[in-house]
Structure 1
Amino acid sequence: MECNVSLEGLAASQHGQLKYAAAFIDEQIRDIRLEDNHLYITHESPKGNEAIESQVRRLIERFSNGDFGFKENILFEHKVATPYEGDIIAELVELKIIKVLEAGLFIFREPFSSLMRFFDYSFVTKIGNRFAGIKEESYPAVIHCETLNKTNHFTSFPEHIHFVTHLREDLDIIEAFSQSIRDHGGWKQDTQLDLNKSMPMPKFTMNPSTCYHCYEGLQNETLEGDGIIVSAISKCHRFESRNHSDFGRLLDFSMREIIFVGKPEFVKENRLRSIEYIKELAVEWNVDSMLEIANDPFFTNEFQTKAAFQRNQEMKYELRLSIPHIKKSIACSSVNFHSNTFGNAFQIKMSNKRPAVTGCVGFGIERWVFAFLAQYGLDEASWPETFRGQYHAWQQKSL
């Protein structure tokens, strides 16, 4: 079946957000596309077209509620006529450089895996190490549900969450579960299991963002001086339904972050410095890119209010790299200011007893590599000379 909904009255700037959110309407949706101011949804849902259309109307109301008006502003643009325009993912798959396990879940092989390590090394040495006193931390792949509750992640981005649980500590349940799997000839996705009976309420989820662990680790602490700067890389996980078919939108990805926690002036000044460092690197590597004001994809009826506030206060910037093959760009880095939201949530205070404010700079490692190769291809002779030289020097150092 195909559902066709007119988007008349919805600002064009909101069409992409609507398409993204529509993927979460029903598990039986097979395809979503935007054409001629209409949203087309192909599905196999027993609910029928009327129910699907009703859900789309709910989302349209969410994204068009009130006099919203995005504040659009490109802060920086570096235009480059890059040499490669092919389908880099198809080429990487054909050459077995990446193995697609399912949409958004990849195994990365050489040279992609080496490029990932080089990009992370470069973000640390070229940007992170320019901040005096920066400290490296290492975080778990899972995070307490209570921590996500304090960050309002459950109410802002509930669709992304991957819960982690286990079989109950009950011998009868464990043995019955094991026997059920044997009886069905192994694990099958359609096996009918009473998970509510077999598993407890989750205590953990997969970590959706690197910086949350930093704030969790500072809970109830008092910081001396102006503040601290932390660098960390971790695996992050976000479920994005059919949107994982979009270029670079991964289920499991690596996020390097530089995190600022301290007095307002300390965080704001270092955030501004980080923006300049990112712009310098984009020019140095000659990537086709732009830095613009952005907002998070809040999955809430308060989307308009939250997104407008974020944009109008310029609390989030994104560095976007162009993908010539699809004639679009993807966000590869973000620069964020959270005010005292996390300082209050985790009771992080300064020596003057005021709550700490926070900010962070994020680098999506796989996205940077995908975008770079989408612009320059796998032939190293076509890469920018400066980038190629730095990569080869890093390779020699890593031997």
Structure 2
Amino acid sequence: MECIVSLEGLAPSQHGQLKYAASFIDETISDIQLDADTIRIQHDSPKGNSGIEERVRKLIERFSQGDFGFKENILFEQHIDTPYEGDIIAELADKKIIKILEPGLFIFREPFSSLMRFFDYSFVTKIAARFEGLTTEEYPAVIHADTLNKTNHFTSFPEHIHFLTHLREDLDTIEAFSQSIRDQGGWQQDSPLDMNATMPKPKFTMNPSTCYHCYEGLKNETLEGEGRIVTAISKCHRFESRNHTDFGRLLDFSMREIIFVGKPDFVKENRLRAIEYLKELAVEWQVDSILEVANDPFFTNDFQVKASFQRNQEMKYELRLTIPHIKKSIACSSVNFHSNTFGNAFNISMGKRPAVTGCVGFGIERWTFAFLAQYGLDESQWPAAIREQYAAWQQLSV
């Protein structure tokens, strides 16, 4: 069935947000297409078109509620006539450089895997290392649900969360589960197993953001001096439904972050430095890009309030790299200011006041995809700076 709903009353700036959120309204949706004035949804829902339309209109009301205004601000813009315009994902898959396991889930092989390591090395040495007093931390890929609750992720981005659980610590349950799998000839997605009976309520989730563990590690601490700067890379996980078919929107991805925790001026000044370093790198590497004010894709009823506040306070900037083949751009880095949200949540203090925080994020797979989408696999076509730095890094890695 196809459900067609008018977008009348919804600002064009919110069409993309509606398309993203519409993927979550029904499990039977197979395709979503956005036109200038309508959204078309292919589905097989038992609720019929009326049930789908009702939910779409609920989202339209959410994203058009009030007149808060979205502040537009571009900090940096660089247009480069890049040499490659092909479908880089199709080419990488055809050459077996990547293996697509399912939408958003990839295996990366050479040279893509080497480029990922090179980009991460570059973000550390060319940006992170310029901050005095930088320390490095290593984080797990899972996070305690109680910790994630303190970040407000459950209420702001509930659709992202991958919950983790396990078989109950009960011999009869474990043996019965194992026997049932044998009886049905192996694991089946539509197995009639009663998961509630065999598994406890999740205590952990997959971690959706690198910096959360940094704040968890500083819980109940009082920091000395002006503050602390930490860098870390970790695997992050976000479920985004049919949006995983969008270019670069992965289920499992690597996020390098530089995290600032301390006094307000300390965090703000270092954040501004990070913005300048990011602009310098975009120029040096000659990537077609734009650095602009942005907002997180909040999934909540108060979307307009949160998103407008973020934009108007310039709390989030994104460096977006152009993907010539689809004539769109994707966010590859973000620069964020959280005020004292996490300082309060985790009781991190600077003297008698809560610490404020900020961070710079680099999506490693997105940077690699976007760079190859502009310059292709032929290294002779790459910018000279990238060729030279990549060759030097390869020598170091031998």
| Bin for the TM-score computed over the shorter chain | over 0.9
Indicate whether 1:305 and 2:301 are aligned: no
Q: Partner residue of 2:90?
A: 90
Q: Given the two structures, how large is their TM-score scaled by the length of structure 1?
A: 0.99
How big is the shift at 1:64? 0.1
How big is the shift at 1:183? 1.1
Indicate whether 1:18 and 2:18 are aligned: yes
Deviation string 1:183-222 (CA, Å, 9 cap, x unpaired) is 1110011111111111111010000000000000000001
Indicate whether 1:343 and 2:328 are aligned: no
Indicate whether 1:262 and 2:269 are aligned: no
Q: Provide the rounded CA distance (Å) in 2 between the counterparts of 1:85 and 1:37.
A: 29
Q: Partner residue of 2:323?
A: 323
Indicate whether 1:148 and 2:162 are aligned: no
Q: Provide the rounded CA distance (Å) in 2 between the counterparts of 1:36 and 1:263.
A: 46
Q: Provide the rounded CA distance (Å) in 1 between the counterparts of 2:36 and 2:76.
A: 31
Q: Partner residue of 1:7?
A: 7
SS for the counterpart of 1:326 is coil
User: 1:41 corresponds to which letter in structure 2?
Assistant: I
Question: Any gaps of 5 or more consecutive residues in structure 2?
Answer: none
Indicate whether 1:285 and 2:285 are aligned: yes
How big is the shift at 1:68? 2.6
Indicate whether 1:117 and 2:113 are aligned: no
User: 2:385 corresponds to which letter in structure 1?
Assistant: T
How big is the shift at 1:130? 0.1
Question: Any gaps of 5 or more consecutive residues in structure 1?
Answer: none
Q: Partner residue of 1:370?
A: 369
Q: Partner residue of 1:388?
A: 387
SS for the counterpart of 2:325 is helix
Deviation string 1:46-96 (CA, Å, 9 cap, x unpaired) is 111000000000000000001032111111001100000000000000000
Q: Partner residue of 1:167?
A: 167
SS for the counterpart of 1:59 is helix
Q: Provide the rounded CA distance (Å) in 2 between the counterparts of 1:353 and 1:138.
A: 29
Q: Provide the rounded CA distance (Å) in 2 between the counterparts of 1:127 and 1:173.
A: 51
SS for the counterpart of 1:253 is strand
How big is the shift at 1:179? 1.0
SS for the counterpart of 1:325 is coil
Q: Provide the rounded CA distance (Å) in 1 between the counterparts of 2:110 and 2:25.
A: 38
Q: Partner residue of 1:356?
A: 355
Q: Provide the rounded CA distance (Å) in 1 between the counterparts of 2:197 and 2:71.
A: 49
User: 2:180 corresponds to which letter in structure 1?
Assistant: S
Deviation string 1:9-31 (CA, Å, 9 cap, x unpaired) is 10000000000000000110000
How big is the shift at 1:229? 0.1
Q: Partner residue of 1:195?
A: 195
User: 2:210 corresponds to which letter in structure 1?
Assistant: T
Q: Provide the rounded CA distance (Å) in 2 between the counterparts of 1:46 and 1:391.
A: 54
User: 1:96 corresponds to which letter in structure 2?
Assistant: K
User: 1:371 corresponds to which letter in structure 2?
Assistant: A
Q: Partner residue of 2:245?
A: 245
How big is the shift at 1:35? 1.4
Structure 1 stretch 28-37 or stretch 375-384: which is displaced more?
Answer: 28-37
Q: Provide the rounded CA distance (Å) in 2 between the counterparts of 1:80 and 1:192.
A: 55
Q: Provide the rounded CA distance (Å) in 2 between the counterparts of 1:339 and 1:272.
A: 14
Q: Provide the rounded CA distance (Å) in 2 between the counterparts of 1:36 and 1:217.
A: 47
SS for the counterpart of 1:225 is coil
Q: Provide the rounded CA distance (Å) in 2 between the counterparts of 1:132 and 1:73.
A: 29
Deviation string 1:155-183 (CA, Å, 9 cap, x unpaired) is 00000000000000011111111111111
Deviation string 1:247-278 (CA, Å, 9 cap, x unpaired) is 00000000000000000000000000000000
How big is the shift at 1:286? 0.2
**Matching of residues 11-160 of structure 1 within 5 Å:** 11-160=11-160
SS for the counterpart of 1:39 is strand
Q: Provide the rounded CA distance (Å) in 2 between the counterparts of 1:249 and 1:228.
A: 31
How big is the shift at 1:143? 0.2
Q: Partner residue of 1:231?
A: 231
Q: Provide the rounded CA distance (Å) in 2 between the counterparts of 1:13 and 1:192.
A: 44
**Matching of residues 181-192 of structure 1 within 5 Å:** 181-192=181-192
User: 1:354 corresponds to which letter in structure 2?
Assistant: R
How big is the shift at 1:45? 1.0
Aligned residues: 398
Q: Provide the rounded CA distance (Å) in 1 between the counterparts of 2:54 and 2:113.
A: 44
How big is the shift at 1:36? 3.1
How big is the shift at 1:115? 0.1
Q: Provide the rounded CA distance (Å) in 2 between the counterparts of 1:10 and 1:68.
A: 13
Q: Provide the rounded CA distance (Å) in 2 between the counterparts of 1:102 and 1:337.
A: 34
SS for the counterpart of 1:247 is coil
How big is the shift at 1:120? 0.1
Deviation string 1:117-151 (CA, Å, 9 cap, x unpaired) is 00000000000000001000000000000011000
Structure 1 outlier segments of 4+, above 4 Å? none
Q: Partner residue of 1:275?
A: 275
Deviation string 1:304-338 (CA, Å, 9 cap, x unpaired) is 00000000000000000000000000000000000
Q: Provide the rounded CA distance (Å) in 1 between the counterparts of 2:37 and 2:134.
A: 48
User: 1:180 corresponds to which letter in structure 2?
Assistant: S
